[in-house]
Structure 1
Amino acid sequence: MFAAKLLYVMSELWPDRKFGMEVRASILRGADECVLNITVG
């Protein structure tokens, strides 16, 4: 989960806001799927 947190912070600091938002959205989506898998699994 550390890598995701690192990417999250990087996306905050990224100069290209659009790219940062996309990265953050994909990270959050991945985290949601992880939680869903744990909950459902």
Structure 2
Amino acid sequence: RNRNSVIGNSRTFFVLIINEIFQGTVVGNSSQQRSAKVPQ
């Protein structure tokens, strides 16, 4: 039971990291495109 909880926690942690990276990439790309559209 403890082993399963550890696997579940690591899996949740992994999903959270992937979600953070994905959100950071999407937000970064959208902000770069937005700034690129604005004439300097």
**Is TM-score (shorter-chain normalized) higher than 0.5?**
yes
Q: Which portions of structure 1, spanning 4 or more consecutive aligned residues, are displaced by more than 6 angstroms?
A: none
Q: Which structure 2 residues correspond to residues 1-40 of structure 1 after superposition, within 5 A?
A: 16-40=3-27
Using the aligned pairs only, state the percent identity.
Answer: 15
Which consecutive residues of structure 2, in runs of 5 or more, have no partner in the other structure?
A: 29-40
Instruction: Count how many residue pairs are aligned between Structure 1 and Structure 2.
Output: 27
The structure with the larger Rg is 2
Higher relative CO (Cα under 8 Å, sequence separation at least 6) belongs to 1
